[in-house]
Amino acid sequence: MANKDHTDPARMEKIVSLCKRRGFIFQAGELYGGLNGVWDYGPLGAELKRNLKDFWWRKTVQERDDVLGMDGSILTMEQVLVSSGHVGGFSDPMSECMLSKVRLRADQVPAQNGRIYWYSGADLLGRKIDREFAVLANFPKEGRNQAEAKAFRFYFDALSPEEQEFVKKFANDNEGLKTLKPIFDREEDVVDTTRFNPANGSLLSEPRDFELMFKTNMGATGDAIAYLRPETAQSIFVQFKNVLDSNRIKLPFGIAQIGKSFRNEINPRNYIFRSREFEQMEIEYFCHPDDGLRLTDEWLETRLSFYEEIGIPREKLHINDIPDGERAFYSKKTYDIEYEFPFGVQELEGVAYRTDYDLGVHQKGAGKPLEYFDEETKQRFLPHVVEPSAGCDRTILALICEAFDEETLTDDKGKEDVRTVLRFKPALAPVKVGIFPLLKKNEEQVRIARGIQKSLQKWMTVSYDDGGAVGRRYRRQDEVGTPFCVTVDFETLGEEKPELKGTVTVRHRDSMEQERMEISALLPWLLERVR
């Protein structure tokens, strides 16, 4: 049952389990204990992902006149990311408040004056807790008591739950005993210190750099540094001029790219939803400044229809119109497209109007003009850009979550049975058709089934299975979302009803219904349904 807040952890657990059991998704390096925030796609996951990327490419590049594809490098020059603002701007040293655990940007802590009370540790009934702590008080006369109370809290928080219970018991007994005593070390007056949290006077931890990009070395000596790209977008901006010059294309037009990006996320969470290595499907759509806002709305609609086409219904999507003040400073309009995952409503894609920020910074950074000259209006200007940027792995997860279904069936005897089925759209399904001989001991059935496998394999992913009863094989295919199964049976051989010779049973995943079909009609029938 889903909670009010749209979360359903039990459902999510079943999905994760199925994904591993049937080979959709594995944790990277699992054999060695696992690598945090990195995932591998198994055989079926790889098929599903390829289908999604192919479908996106077809809809975005192949079926449009105004979008061209490219495939940029992952290794990225430092200068590119300096211009874009990724280097420098987004690796601020952070300090953490030792009392409240709040994290502050070290360079934004205001300078303060006052008296510092240093504690070298604490005494828990003779046992020494050896951790330094300090409190800054702005009123030296009263400061020591306040400081001591805060120090007490700091050391209390550091205790194990059992020790905390123990200390609490004594405190409540009102015996005047302090079982936990901060050990006062020294006091000093300071001017302009930035090592203390202005909110509570607590000592801050040493500033730490939070490196949000992956850096690597290049060249024989390794002196040159490069970064793994944090987004696919930058290579598009950097190659904008080359694409424009090498293709006879006019504004407005877009450049699309699918590829890996890397962010050293502080805290990867929610299965493959937020990972450190992930794949993006991005479009940078360049246009005249006057058209930016209108095109942003148009792209939002285009993208929403895309999700509908791949099987994510509109009512499960939420559009978040990011208000003024919460958008990136360069963006004039941003929509987040969010999906109701079992762990909450989370972003699938952002459609952002980025103005001319990106081309602007690269034009300045590289010192080369990136302006566009419009022959008709004789205008020269820096194009604006609308960026629909989708997370490929997130969409995969949404597809699986949306497809996952547990259907309760009741047989003739009234016995209940749960059928697990992934209701993928056929175009996305990792396997399009399962092919079975009714009985694997029947050589003729096996021969024909193998022949069907061979003829269909050129066109689509198929799965041949002769293990166990046919009903079990149907259910195995249901569980990985195969939309159709073909069974070669005794009618195929024309044993009792000669008029059925050369026909097979086609079984539908969603309805479990069956129909008979000529073997020769299979390929066109399937091709019509699996694209």
Partner RNA sequence: GCGGGCGUAGCUCAGUGGUAGAGCGCCACCUUGCCAAGGUGGAUGUCGUGAGUUCGAAUCUCAUCGCCCGCUCCA
> Among the candidate windows 177-185, 234-242, 266-274, 313-321, which touches RNA by CB under 7 A?
266-274
Q: Residues 482, 485, 487, CA angle at the centre, nearest 5°?
A: 160
Among 469, 501, 515, 520, binds RNA (CB under 7 A): 469
Report residue 308: phi and psi, to 5°: -60, -40
Interface with RNA includes 148 (CB under 7 A)? no
Residue located via tokens 């005993």: 177
Tell me if 306 sits within 8 A of 59, measured CB to CB: yes
- Is there binding between residue 284 and RNA (CB under 7 A)? no
- The residue among 372 and 489 lying less far from RNA, judged by its C-beta, is 489
Looking at beta carbons only, is 303 or 354 nearer to RNA?
Answer: 354
Tokens for 32?
A: 């060695």
Asked if 232 contacts 69 with a C-beta cutoff of 8 angstroms, the reply is: no
- Please state the φ and ψ torsions of residue 331, each to the nearest 5 degrees: -95, 135
Asked whether 51 and 429 are in contact (CB, 8 A), the reply is yes
- Is 265 a binding residue for RNA by CB under 7 A? The answer is yes
96 is a contact residue toward RNA (CB under 7 A): yes
Q: Which is nearer to RNA, 107 or 157 (CB)?
A: 157
Ramachandran region, residue 222 (left: φ > 0; alpha: ψ -120 to 50; beta: rest): left
Check: CB of residue 121 under 8 Å from CB of residue 130: yes
Q: Does 322 bind RNA (CB under 7 A)?
A: no
**Of residues 194 and 264, the one with the C-beta less far from RNA:** 264
Region of 217 (left: φ > 0; alpha: ψ -120 to 50; beta: rest) is: beta
By rule CB under 7 A, what count of residues binds RNA?
Answer: 70
Amino acid present at 247:
N
Of 279, 212, 277, the closest CA to residue 38 belongs to 277
Region for 355 from its dihedrals, namely left if φ exceeds 0, alpha if ψ lies in -120 to 50, beta otherwise? left
> Whole-number minimum distance, CB 164 to RNA, in Å?
9
* CB of residue 516 to RNA, shortest distance in Å: 9
Range 437-442, long-range pairs (CB < 8 A, 24+ positions): 437/466, 437/487, 437/488, 438/470, 438/487, 438/488, 438/489, 438/490, 440/466, 440/467
Query: In the range 17-56, which residues lie near RNA by CB under 7 A?
Result: 17, 20-21, 27, 33-37
Would you call the peptide bond into 182 cis, given omega within 30 degrees of 0 as the criterion?
no
**Contacts to RNA from residues 348-407, by CB under 7 A:** none
418 near RNA (CB under 7 A) = yes
Provide, rounded to whole angstroms, the least separation between the CB of residue 104 and RNA: 9
Instruction: Give the interface segment with RNA, choosing from 281-289, 425-433, 454-462, 472-480 (CB under 7 A).
Output: 472-480
Q: Let me know: does 110 contact 198? Beta carbons within 8 Å.
A: yes
Told to check if 450 binds RNA by CB under 7 A, we report no
Position 513 contacts RNA (CB under 7 A) = yes
* 472 lies in the site for RNA, by CB under 7 A: yes
**Phi, psi of 207, rounded to the nearest 5 degrees:** -60, 135
Q: Which is nearer to RNA, 285 or 474 (CB)?
A: 474
* Shortest Å distance, C-beta 272 to RNA: 9
3-state DSSP call for residue 106?
helix
Binder among 512, 517, 519, 523 for RNA (CB under 7 A): 512
> Using the rule CB under 7 A, is 187 a contact of RNA?
no
User: Using CB under 7 A, which of the segments 69-77, 218-226, 267-275, 281-289 binds RNA?
Assistant: 267-275
- Closest distance to RNA from the beta carbon of 11 (Å): 11
Q: Which of 2, 9, 71, 186 binds RNA (CB under 7 A)?
A: 9
Binding site residues, RNA, CB under 7 A: 9, 12-13, 16-17, 20-21, 27, 33-37, 85-86, 90, 96, 101-103, 157, 160-161, 210, 212-213, 230, 263-271, 274, 328, 343, 409, 411, 417-420, 438-441, 467-472, 474-476, 479, 487, 489-491, 495-496, 505, 507, 512-514
